[in-house]
Structures are given as C-alpha cells and as structure tokens.
Structure 1
Amino acid sequence: MSKTVYQTDHAGLFLCAVKADESPLEPGVYLLPAGAVETPPPEDWPEDKWPRWTGASWALVNRPRQPEQHSPAAKLASFLANNPDVAALIEEQQQ
C-alpha cells in the first residue's frame, strides 16, 4: 500500500508529488522519501510564486529562476572569448 506525499528540494521548494510506501515492519507507518512532506501544497499559485515548505506549512515565495541552458559549443565559444590565451594555444596546435 502507498500514499501520495510531496517532494521538496534541499531549499524546501516543491518538486512533485511522489508515492510513500507502507513500512513492511510497521503497518500504518509510511516510509517518506528524504525531503518529502505529507501536507499538500496549495492547489494553485500565481505565475511568479512557488510553494516552499517552511518546516510547518507551505509559503509562497518568489519563483526561482532556472539557470540558462547553453549548448556545449556555446559554452566553449564563451570560454574561448574570455580566455584568448587558450584560444591562441589551440590555434598554434592546429597549424
């Protein structure tokens, strides 16, 4: 048997609903994944907010921004632009 619980990250921000399984040794006791809580987050919230577990209840905080995802080629191009000495070494090796 299992029940739905609510997974948070290390900062307490809501991630998703997950299943907690019943303990095989203690009927009626559920094994919660690390960081999960039994209290459901709000059903909905404004676009600029996100639920965060405070340890006692859910609070709506400013929505965290996702880090920009750059392609490996874009990261390399940025690195070489900021490190012309490395770019020069690569250029020398190719000649």
Structure 2
Amino acid sequence: MTSKRAYQFSHSGLLMGETQADESPLEPGVWHVPARCTLVPPPQDIPEGKVPHWNGTAWTLVTKPTPANDNDPVAKLQAFLAANPDVSAILKQGSV
C-alpha cells in the first residue's frame, strides 16, 4: 500500500502538522485522507508572526494567534477580532 503526505489543520483551520493518507486497496488512485487534513501543501515561506490557515480550498497566511486570558472570554474575543479584521468586517456586514 502506498501513501501520500497529508497536512493536518485544527478546527479553526490552523496548520498543526503532517500525517499520511493511504491509497485505497480497492480503488487505486483514491486516497483515504484523514479528517481535518488536505493533500495540498502549505506555503514554504512563512513570515514571522504568521501561520498557515486552511480556508477549505487553499492555504492562506493569517496573523499567529496570541494567547489570551482564558478567564476572560470578552478579552479573548476582542483579541481574536483585532487579529482577524476580515472576520470583524463580516460580522459588521451581518448587523446591517
């Protein structure tokens, strides 16, 4: 059985690491890709402070999350929205 490199991402789409996708023994050329993985390789050159994010079709580079005070959910949400202005813009559009 052959395998290919697969790239794991978290529930939020951030790159976590690598694993293997195995070829189907019954369907040559069909790959059993594990959950929350893709066969598309992430970018090689990652600037400081950025992290690859899988958006469902491609890798993009987003601001690396910074740990927030887990005891304060409002501060955690504010930090997330400050680091992800695209999400903020979507939320503002929905409130119109």
Distance of 2:14 and 2:64 partners within structure 1: 9
In the alignment, what sits opposite 1:36? 37
Distance of 2:28 and 2:54 partners within structure 1: 27
In the alignment, what sits opposite 1:80? none
- State the 4+ residue runs in structure 1 displaced beyond 6 angstroms: none
Distance of 1:8 and 1:66 partners within structure 2: 18
Q: TM-score, normalised by structure 2?
A: 0.64
Question: In the TM superposition, what is the alpha-carbon distance from 1:47 to its structure 2 partner?
Answer: 1.8
CA RMSD of aligned residues (A): 1.6
Question: In the TM superposition, what is the alpha-carbon distance from 1:8 to its structure 2 partner?
Answer: 0.6
3-state SS in 2 of match to 1:20: strand
Q: Deviations over 1:15-68 (max 9, x none)?
A: 112110111221111100101011100002112000001111111111023578
Count of residues paired in the alignment: 68
Structure 1: gaps (5+ residues)? 69-95
